[in-house]
Structure 1
């Protein structure tokens, strides 16, 4: 019996403990103010960086970073969420939050219709306002005038126009570089002599890609090739140690930077020798009258047309629609989002999310507007509108023919010199190239020397199997950031050749040709007036001629103007629909109003998730194609470009190596971040906060759309080499495609850092809880938290769960205690009961009956009732039978009167009690036997 009792008690205790745990977990989940207990930053598994040129990379060159289409990660018997699932579901949550925010904003008037419309169209609100004033008649008349303008395109006219542009460029360059006075004495190139002795050959023995691969294995804990890694780092350390300190390099860099301006001075000489003298004998009319009398459209009309066309190729700061990272197309996904089981399970919304379909009426009209704009948001329309917009910028410039003719007179009478010797120019150009190359290499060496200080090099020797993965990862980060510097140094020969070539500039610059040119430049700066107006007219003439060469110019332009004009009725309809939400008193709207606090979370949550969407959309192969074509385009400009094209290219192209570095860092960091995601399934939404915080490691990518389009204009029309034309065209196409993605991750760092709190608040908002939240948005679009997130529960759900749970546990504990004491005879309850009965039974036998015998009889009756009420008492020893001598007459009479046997013999009370006790014990044994059978 004791064993069965113990087993029963253990079972009940297990049930109780399970109930306690369940209630506790439920209460913790309900109390959203609890601190998050999952900090994945301390246990994330770093993985190796992936460099696009790394032979150790396990990512195929054609592999896309679109995680939605990738196979699930090989996580054997893992309880973690598949990142591919997160990359689909979290944007869906962001869409729901933004949709709820817009609906509530329309309902109470806190969000006007125009910002929503503008952001979904990817333009700013000012452009939307201007669209209402659009004058289609005016712009169509303008483009007809452009198409029909009569222009002189003879070779002589083209030469004059180019010569006038050369004059302006010469003056601009000279103003920018200064007079170059005392450059040869203050910054002597002879001081570069020590650079010749710098040894860079050891850098060629350092294998960067192999070193990164070894670090990856260590970080991933696949193996521990510490000896091999230390060997590679020792080669690097030796090469760095042989370099002079960075402070020693700095004076050489300053000298080279000054002399690098000579390259621009050579450009002046080349421009002077090109078509300069043609202005001495030709009237420079260059179609100025044609440009000056075109009936231009108004600037706002052309601007709004350009905004419509470029909307697909630009990124804006979304304030009220941040969760719609893909614009209007995201609205179509809301219906399926509201039915998603994963979302419903993790958010546990307090109202039906199907009410989100209230936004469908507004979405239908937005789709009509989107369908109207999509056909004109193409690359061909983009290039056409860029040129029209540039032409429009020169509107209203007036210059008389006399002012134009005065330029020829000035050149002929005041600023006349002979052309430069061609061999002299060639020598100076080559020397200038050596200066620029030497400057780049010394700057690369300085970067390497600054990164690998003596302390860092000493730490290389301390590497062991006990070294933390984070420490090894930091080495990888530094190496990757210097990949372009290593590439430049390892692909170069000794520095001696460049030093020797650069030093020849001292002699070349001192040639007698130089000073006469400087004198003429000063003359031009002093005597020629209206240079800005002349340059503006010249540019407009070139643009006008290029527009006229486009046979479909008028057709494409009118397609854009028609799309803009037809947008006006839809804008009116959209504003009307937005106003109707204020009158909507349906049950669905009432439910969504309970989620009003989510409106303050749409911006920070949407920004962070929008960055996540950009990461999943970018293609590795597309980025690598962009880099390859960009590098090829640089070579093409140097080999096939005309002097004019080369100058245009160099002035607009920028530092493409820096862009390449950004792309390599992004690809590697994105891979590391993705593989570090380790989040258990079925957790709170706030558990994904660390995943977003880790996105702060991502580097932004600036593809420089407008400057690089301008730099490559003209190269795509080189008919002598179709391969050149193809490469430039492919580069421009990939440049346009990348510009559609928002790759400026630096804008969202504050949003990433606040995502733990934001996610916790989003989770609470969907559960019908009030959020007191204050978030400010800076002008740059970054989100900063200005107050702590304070969440106050309005629902009594949490308290009810706690109360009911406590009562259930209390009842279970009481039941266990009762059953335990019922079966266990050693329980304190049974001990007290037996002691009490014993006292009651032995009281009449303790001596002669006293005058208080009536009180004793009363006690016996109470004992009898107690025994009858509790028939399962333990077996008691028979009480001693009192002798007749001890009985007084009073007691004897009482006993006789009390009871008699069936034979007529009197029975004492004690004997009767004994008999009753025996009967009760029999009943108890019988009842206990039946109970044991039942158990």
Structure 2
């Protein structure tokens, strides 16, 4: 089986599959077996992405054409929205929502007597959730490993506060490093590395971290024991609480009923999508990784150098048509971005969370249901409270988090130091590249931030892990076996557990929302704006339906593409998103550092009661950090494996998708951490703390817009090798099928193809018959014309004899001067005559002198027909005046041809100008300046480019009056574009800064991908309209074809004086 490379893979999919089968037989597939030139391996992922876009565009085009794909579903996916959510949003009953919000605003809460009852019952729901998550997975370290944590106190972290990074960073900020600068910089860097290395000593940092990992469930253990201790409330409920709770449950019934007719989850998803990325299941648009923004790339894919070179693209129906929908989709997306505020986002999230709880309640419980549930809890809860250990669990859990983040920071700092010692300090010199200096500076700044994390809050040597009383940790399952049994019993209660606990939780949420201001107003405003914006969906739908699409006749090919489109697109999505995510590693490092600093401020400067509230809202930041690290490690392996490959063929790349790492999901807990930041802001933090909180919130919101859910791509990645194999086999089969059809000798099994073949044969026979009849008819016309010409030439001969004597007298007078010129031009003219082999028919007749009444006209026309650019015609016009001249035969031949057509040289030139024939008028090229040639693909690409980018100052006229006007406009347009690019390059050189050099993502000398493609097109336009280098632009004749041009200058050569050369 022949292997298809990336270029041909995309082209063959685009060109073959997207045209009707009846048109395939005319395609030229000679390029299929050609490999493309070896390019930078960094383009592998880009080429895979282009392939995915093309495959998706083809299947999408055909699905829209045969109505198998819903237009509304496509619109939703391109806007990064689940189709069912968009449909739900369009059908929201605004009146029902208004009624729900009115009821929520008017909800009557009884006095505070119900607060504790509702909170305690609601906490039982949290209890069940937490124990279900960790109860069967607890594996605490053994006693020996746990007591090893005492050795952490021997780490030598004292003196880190004295490390000064400023001199090193200042030196690295200099534009030029002298020998003195290099020596000082090495001194500072060595001092930093020595101090950081000394912190480790002989201790096993990785061993400490592994042990701390095993202690992570403690953060849930202390909460579970705390809630378990609250069960005592059920035996001593405050007077009035039952009646108040029943009354509130009665109010809740109306709210549950109204929530079912006014779900706001789709509105919440829309608003939150402006701040948090929501991964969706792309059924039809998996190749469009960035949604509608990728539609514009389709025109680039068509015009790309490695796609554009294929003649098969001429038969493509035009996948770029999908980009016609981009402006409307972009307008709607940007309107949503401007419409919703962060405040509205938080309000809608609160209401949507409440509705989620309400919709889970099938029937609001009665007080009898509450009593039944509390009795079941009391029956299960026969183990002691263990209240004396709750504080121990909490302290050890908090200290575990402190040690974990500081030890992982030390480990990262030691890795950075090792890189400094091996990759940078020994190689540092005055000749070190700017790129290396930038990377070195980033590494030093990272070390500075690591030291800040180590210094904030408790020092690692001050943290007490209570190893003396390690039994409660290492012997947890044995010592608390009775509690574990009670926890399991409560988890398995069936008596309306959900209805009772969720109803109580809903009451707590309603109380909190009523304390907030303008929640209902925020929701109403957001709903009104969303409803108004959705009216544009009608216009977007019409644009999709108006697309002129050519469907595929062969369903087998279409089904084969559908089968590979989604898994191929998902696997490529993982690669592209992973590559983009890795480019933001510094942003994630900043997020982790700021998060640790916020935790440090809470641990050190905030009251204990607030620490508990903050911690419960903030969540497990250590777990988030570990997930980020795990994801980046896996992505580095995956992307590096594909991107770093030298493979250039599709089949070879498929072999790379083996032994792939497991990808995980990262949840930044955006909502919870925004709420925790708000809690911190409410206790009046210092200016430094407020700045830290602002930085963290900004960083959190930026990263929350990224897609961090990668586990859903694992299946498609693991099967990518098979997917590519299927794609290669499918395209090879199409190639073989087309080759067999065009050869005419292969057997075709399909009855449909037999039908097409026989009809094609009949059509070919009919065309041949028509051609033969046409040829016979033309021959008769030519014979008749030659007979008439012979009669006319006889008459002309009689007239020419009369003027022969006059001509001889003129020739005798000029014989001497003309002889010299003849010697100069004769050599060139005879050479051209010999190489061109002109027709010598009727030369004898042409040698006869012209009649008296035509002499002046002939002479004048001969001189006129020879432009200054044609040395041949100059020689001919001179040589025909001398008898016996070796070139006279040629001149007379030309004259005869002119007379035979009934035209003089002047009329020939006029005819050539009118008809566009550039071979008339004495043999020189006459460009047609009246007929405007049709636009080809390069012309259209240029028109679209200048229309898309008005910064170039080029405006295309509606039409061109003639070809010369079009040529001049294109020349001016290309000059203006190149001037802008040149100015951009000069501006970048003037503003070059080492800190921004590494962020340059361009790989085309500062041009974008689209501008780089335009650069290739401009070269082809220059060749088309201005000619190739080394070409005579006036005549359109390459220099090497000019007869004796280099030997003797003629009137074509303005640099030489013709008369002086003639005299010599």
- Normalising by the residue count of structure 2, what TM-score does the alignment of the two structures yield? 0.46
1:121, 1:370 within 8 Å by CA — same for their partners in 2? yes
Residues 1:289 and 2:250 aligned together: yes
Aligned residue number for residue 391 of structure 1: 354
1:266, 1:425 within 8 Å by CA — same for their partners in 2? yes
C-alpha distance in structure 2 between counterparts of 1:410 and 1:398, whole Å:
19
C-alpha distance in structure 2 between counterparts of 1:375 and 1:161, whole Å:
39
Aligned residue number for residue 280 of structure 2: 316
1:211-222 to structure 2, matched below 5 A, reads none
Q: Deviations over 1:158-197 (max 9, x none)?
A: 444444445665676677776999999x857886499579
- 1:577 offset after TM fit, Å? 6.0
Aligned residue number for residue 80 of structure 2: 122
C-alpha distance in structure 2 between counterparts of 1:523 and 1:483, whole Å:
48
* Aligned match for 1:792, one of 735, 739, 744: 735
- 1:553 offset after TM fit, Å? 3.1
Aligned residue number for residue 615 of structure 1: 580
1:290-369 to structure 2, matched below 5 A, reads 290-294=251-255, 295-298=257-260, 301-312=263-274, 313=276, 314-322=278-286, 324-329=288-293, 331=295, 333=296, 337=300, 350-351=313-314, 358-359=321-322, 366=329
Specify the SS of the correspondent of 2:314.
coil
Q: Deviations over 1:126-168 (max 9, x none)?
A: 334545654333333222211221224x555444444444566
- 1:540 offset after TM fit, Å? 1.1
C-alpha distance in structure 1 between counterparts of 2:30 and 2:156, whole Å:
64
- 1:387 offset after TM fit, Å? 2.2
C-alpha distance in structure 1 between counterparts of 2:727 and 2:65, whole Å:
26
Specify the SS of the correspondent of 1:547.
helix
C-alpha distance in structure 2 between counterparts of 1:796 and 1:342, whole Å:
29
- 1:753 offset after TM fit, Å? 11
Aligned residue number for residue 600 of structure 2: 635
Aligned residue number for residue 625 of structure 2: 657
C-alpha distance in structure 2 between counterparts of 1:199 and 1:104, whole Å:
66
Residues 1:534 and 2:534 aligned together: no
* Aligned match for 1:280, one of 194, 218, 236: 236
2:78, 2:291 within 8 Å by CA — same for their partners in 1? yes
Distance 1:91 1:556, change over 3 A: farther
Aligned residue number for residue 684 of structure 2: 721
Distance 1:412 1:572, change over 3 A: closer
1:310, 1:382 within 8 Å by CA — same for their partners in 2? yes
C-alpha distance in structure 1 between counterparts of 2:120 and 2:291, whole Å:
48
Specify the SS of the correspondent of 1:649.
helix
C-alpha distance in structure 2 between counterparts of 1:516 and 1:319, whole Å:
49
Specify the SS of the correspondent of 1:350.
helix
1:620, 1:667 within 8 Å by CA — same for their partners in 2? no
Aligned residue number for residue 930 of structure 2: none
Aligned residue number for residue 826 of structure 2: none
Distance 1:320 1:536, change over 3 A: same
C-alpha distance in structure 2 between counterparts of 1:622 and 1:495, whole Å:
26
C-alpha distance in structure 1 between counterparts of 2:99 and 2:453, whole Å:
54
2:234, 2:374 within 8 Å by CA — same for their partners in 1? no
C-alpha distance in structure 2 between counterparts of 1:402 and 1:795, whole Å:
80
- 1:716 offset after TM fit, Å? 0.4
Distance 1:405 1:527, change over 3 A: farther
Q: Deviations over 1:643-683 (max 9, x none)?
A: 65245236554523325646987999999999x9999xxxx
Aligned residue number for residue 64 of structure 2: 106
- 1:611 offset after TM fit, Å? 2.2
C-alpha distance in structure 1 between counterparts of 2:447 and 2:660, whole Å:
17
Aligned residue number for residue 737 of structure 1: 702
- 1:119 offset after TM fit, Å? 0.6
Specify the SS of the correspondent of 2:258.
coil
- 1:557 offset after TM fit, Å? 2.6
C-alpha distance in structure 2 between counterparts of 1:97 and 1:485, whole Å:
46
Distance 1:444 1:356, change over 3 A: closer
- 1:404 offset after TM fit, Å? 3.9
Specify the SS of the correspondent of 1:713.
helix
Specify the SS of the correspondent of 2:264.
helix
C-alpha distance in structure 2 between counterparts of 1:99 and 1:725, whole Å:
49
Aligned residue number for residue 38 of structure 1: 38
C-alpha distance in structure 2 between counterparts of 1:181 and 1:659, whole Å:
19
Aligned residue number for residue 667 of structure 2: 704
Specify the SS of the correspondent of 2:285.
coil
- Unpaired segments ≥5 residues, structure 1: 1-26, 45-80, 217-222, 465-478, 756-773, 778-782, 800-818, 823-931
- 1:388 offset after TM fit, Å? 2.4
2:380, 2:486 within 8 Å by CA — same for their partners in 1? no
- Figure out how many residues of one structure are paired with residues of the other and give that number: 673
Distance 1:426 1:134, change over 3 A: closer
C-alpha distance in structure 1 between counterparts of 2:496 and 2:375, whole Å:
14
Structure index of larger Rg:
1
C-alpha distance in structure 2 between counterparts of 1:181 and 1:751, whole Å:
33
1:89-238 to structure 2, matched below 5 A, reads 102-131=60-89, 134-152=92-110, 155-166=112-123, 187=143, 192=148
Distance 1:299 1:444, change over 3 A: farther
1:263, 1:432 within 8 Å by CA — same for their partners in 2? yes
Aligned residue number for residue 626 of structure 1: 591
Distance 1:290 1:346, change over 3 A: farther
C-alpha distance in structure 2 between counterparts of 1:148 and 1:130, whole Å:
27
2:591, 2:700 within 8 Å by CA — same for their partners in 1? yes
Q: Deviations over 1:347-383 (max 9, x none)?
A: 6663398956754775576567657755555544433
1:114, 1:575 within 8 Å by CA — same for their partners in 2? yes
* Aligned match for 1:548, one of 493, 514, 522: 514
C-alpha distance in structure 1 between counterparts of 2:150 and 2:574, whole Å:
53
Distance 1:149 1:29, change over 3 A: same
C-alpha distance in structure 2 between counterparts of 1:406 and 1:110, whole Å:
54
- Unpaired segments ≥5 residues, structure 2: 1-26, 173-178, 428-443, 744-830, 835-1046, 1050-1064
- 1:533 offset after TM fit, Å? 3.4
Distance 1:492 1:317, change over 3 A: same
1:444, 1:489 within 8 Å by CA — same for their partners in 2? yes
Specify the SS of the correspondent of 1:123.
coil
1:649, 1:711 within 8 Å by CA — same for their partners in 2? yes
Specify the SS of the correspondent of 1:546.
helix
C-alpha distance in structure 1 between counterparts of 2:91 and 2:716, whole Å:
37
- 1:554 offset after TM fit, Å? 3.1
Distance 1:28 1:94, change over 3 A: same
C-alpha distance in structure 2 between counterparts of 1:526 and 1:342, whole Å:
63
Specify the SS of the correspondent of 1:151.
coil
